[in-house]
Structure 1
Amino acid sequence: MNPVAKILIIIGAALILVGVVWQVGGRFLQLGKLPGDIFIEKENFKFYFPITTCILISVAVSLIFYIIRLLK
């Protein structure tokens, strides 16, 4: 099989897995509504920046890649 096709299949499967985990786990872990996320609401203006959520996801993804690198 073509290596590019393999990579695309793996990425697609990973995205499906992340979507299922996010859907089921979203009831228990409210990503996007963590303490430290910035939310400003005024009359005609809303600004939302999930900084804490971004940091948490970044750490999780970094750990996953680190573990994958160790297993190779």
Structure 2
Amino acid sequence: MARFLILAGIIFLIVGIILQMYPGLMNWLGRLPGDLRFESGNTRIYFPITTMILVSIILTILLNLLRRIF
């Protein structure tokens, strides 16, 4: 468990540094086809359905790989 938390912290640190250096790198996330956006006057409603599915698949794959390694 401790190894996993240390590894997760290092990964978050590396991703944070990369996103700090290249702020436009993840602009596509949240604007995928299938993300629903409704705008009417001052009201905006946003449902990032495709983004949530993509993030869920990626996290599932990563966590399964990490579980097999440790």
With normalisation by structure 2, the TM-score equals: 0.70
| Highest RCO, 1 vs 2 (Cα 8 Å, sep ≥ 6) | 2
The residue identity in structure 1 corresponding to 2:14 is L
**RMSD, aligned CA:** 2.5
The residue identity in structure 2 corresponding to 1:13 is I
2: CA distance, partners of 1:12 / 1:32:
24
Residue 53 of structure 2: aligned partner: 55
2: CA distance, partners of 1:12 / 1:24:
23
Residue 14 of structure 2: aligned partner: 17
Residue 26 of structure 1: aligned partner: 26
Moved over 6 A (4+): none
The residue identity in structure 1 corresponding to 2:9 is G
Query: Residue 23 and residue 62 in structure 1: after superposition, are their counterparts in 2 closer, same or farther (change >3 A)?
Result: farther
* 1:14-53 deviation line (CA, Å, top 9, x unaligned): 22223325846326xx110000001000012001121111
Query: What percent of counterpart residues are identical?
Result: 34
The residue identity in structure 2 corresponding to 1:68 is L
Q: How many residues are treated as equivalent by the alignment? A: 65
Q: Is the partner of 1:32 in helix, strand or coil? A: coil
